[in-house]
Chain A
Amino acid sequence: MTMPRNYGLAPLGAGIGLRRQHFSDIIDQLPPVNWFEVIPENFLGRGGFVTDALRRIADRYTLVGHGVSLSIGSTDPLNMTLLREVKKFCDACRCPWYSDHLCFTMVDHVNLNDLIPLPFTQEAVKNVAQRVKIVQEVLERPFLLENVTYYMQVAKSQMTEPEFISAVLEEANCGLMLDVSNVILNSSNHGFAPVDFLDSIPLHRVGQLHLGGFEKQGDILLDTHAKPVAEETWALYQEVLKRIGPTSALIEWDFEIPSLARLLQEAVMAQTLMDEVTQGHIPAT
């Protein structure tokens, strides 16, 4: 059976994350950005300046929702209140799809305030898959899971990371938000070849890409989102594009946030590489 590429999602080109620091510049300058990724948790239950700015920006640009607190891998009950709020948010902003992370952020009703890796086990696969189905039912739009960085392997006796991701995507029948930088980080921190990783996951399910900066701390690379996209990430990004063709690629820069102009330079780079690599390219399906 032929599988649609990009998980059937329209490739939007290069975009940037919508951050409060840039609201006024975006509203005043209306920069040429294909799309913005927006974190609903930064707006839910809030009014005033942030929602006013969001409304203005949503009127002009395509917004794609990206969550940080669904805690899809947790054993706590799914936060249905949050999920319904996210649904309303996505409807209001006309988000074509939604994504969150393949990890857990809360357990025993305690917030861990980080993306904690799941054990690569069949039990975790089943748990995530069941919850993703509920998420998809409520959101009524395509849902993508993002591969996260992991500095420790909670359980590695059953399967590898690509086997785990593949099993989750197949069982949940959802898309993949492929964080290219995370592949580089994990390959460095755990000793595998990034291209081997690419060739071990169902690339037809990749609906969106993330590109972010990282930093070396001691003997590990840390996913800080506080730096420009690294050379090795750009190189792997091109490998991904060769395999899947044009897609939606997002520059993540969440700390030590630069000027809007500097951020847009990164987006231009992402778009230029995408155009160069995918020109006339008919990717395998």
Chain B
Amino acid sequence: MTLNHLLSAVRELLLDEETKAEAIDNRRAEIAKRFPQLEKTEVDDLATIAPERMRVYTELIYNGEVSMLRWVYPVTFAVLSRLMKIEDDANARRTFFFDLIRKLHRFRAWGSDSSRLLAANFQDFFIETKPDLQKSWPGLLDIIDYEKTSVDVFYALDVPHRAMAVTQLSTLSVGELLDLPVFVPACVAMRKFQHDVMQLGAQWRDEDKLPDHLPSRSENLAVCGRDVQSLMPKWLTMDGAAYDTICHVSSAGYMTLNGVAAIYLQKQSWPDEQTEEIQFRRFFQELVTWFSAGVICVKNS
């Protein structure tokens, strides 16, 4: 007997294709043909399993994956239900998502014990197979990216840094403050969305429902960090200057706040009448927001 052949056969019967035959003799013949490495007793044992008992596992497995993915992609699942016009039909939703996850499995089997890899497979499935649903609403990839990024940031490993409350910044002299070395943690995600999916996500969180109309095309620059108080993902919408500044700090590894301020002030287009003092005040307002959202941290000395 070879255990691995038997376990492989079980896997294939549960995940890929169950036996079609209802009568036990027919099942025996089908299993013997599909799995020639199995011994006769193993074929007999598998053939005696009632198809509906095997189906219990198939449903548990795929429905389990639907639940895991719904946890990562709640808005995406709601959008898909809207696009499929099955928002008000629980049975149709169940069937649709079950079939979708079977397609996902055929696209790429889940080859790890990491649920985050399953979530990544889901995103790749939409990117690579370009299902027709994307034509119905081109923002689908944006919302998938938004939700997956939020979970990635939520779970990202902690990065060593100097713990510093935002209120502590105001106790520093200007010189001390500008000398602080800061960096953008690796978990911080920068995105150029083609649709306002942050608004969509915020509405879902607040009202647990989608707006009547899904967002139309409009470019949004966004950065996601981890809120230093709640440790939850925090998305910030940014203008071009702020976004470019964070990009610059991120690629530099780390720099002093003085350097960050110089980049920000240089990239920002200021009205002629604005004084340097107003510009700095604006920068420090941004800075507090970035610190609070964990988009930049103070480097360990």
Interface residues of A (CB under 8 A from B): 41, 45-52, 69, 71, 73-75, 79, 82, 104-114, 116, 119, 121, 123-124, 127, 151-157, 218, 220, 222
Give the residue name and chain of the A residue nearest to B154 (CB).
A48
Interface residues of B (CB under 8 A from A): 1-4, 6-8, 10-11, 14-15, 41-42, 44-46, 49-50, 52-54, 56-57, 60-61, 64-65, 68, 109-114, 118, 153-159, 187, 226, 230-232
Name the B residues within 8 Å of A155 (CB-CB): 6, 41-42, 45-46
Do B158 and A47 have beta carbons less than 8 Å apart?
A: yes
Residue in A48, A111, A112, A152 whose beta carbon sits within 8 Å of that of B231 in the complex: A48
Do B155 and A151 have beta carbons less than 8 Å apart?
A: no
Name the A residues within 8 Å of B114 (CB-CB): 45
Do A116 and B10 have beta carbons less than 8 Å apart?
A: yes
Docked CA distance A113–B61 (Å): 6
Q: What's the minimum C-beta distance from A140 to chain B, rounded to whole angstroms?
A: 22
Residue in A47, A112, A121 whose beta carbon sits within 8 Å of that of B15 in the complex: A112
Name the B residues within 8 Å of A47 (CB-CB): 155-159, 187
Docked CA distance A104–B3 (Å): 12
Give the residue name and chain of the A residue nearest to B16 (CB).
A110
Residue in B3, B49, B65, B158 whose beta carbon sits within 8 Å of that of A123 in the complex: B3
Given contacts A52-B231, A111-B111, contact A151 B57 (CB under 8 A): yes
Given contacts A46-B157, A48-B156, contact A113 B64 (CB under 8 A): yes
Do A110 and B11 have beta carbons less than 8 Å apart?
A: yes
Residue in A46, A69, A75, A116 whose beta carbon sits within 8 Å of that of B113 in the complex: A69
Known: A107-B11, A114-B57. 12 other contacts (CB 8 A): A45-B114, A47-B159, A48-B155, A48-B226, A105-B113, A108-B8, A110-B11, A119-B45, A151-B57, A154-B45, A157-B45, A220-B53
Name the B residues within 8 Å of A51 (CB-CB): 158
Q: What's the minimum C-beta distance from A118 to chain B, rounded to whole angstroms?
A: 8
Residue in A49, A82, A154 whose beta carbon sits within 8 Å of that of B46 in the complex: A154
Do A109 and B232 have beta carbons less than 8 Å apart?
A: no
Residue in B3, B153, B155 whose beta carbon sits within 8 Å of that of A124 in the complex: B3
Name the B residues within 8 Å of A151 (CB-CB): 53, 56-57
Name the B residues within 8 Å of A121 (CB-CB): 1, 3
Q: What's the minimum C-beta distance from A29 to chain B, rounded to whole angstroms?
A: 19
Docked CA distance A1–B50 (Å): 44
Name the A residues within 8 Å of B226 (CB-CB): 48
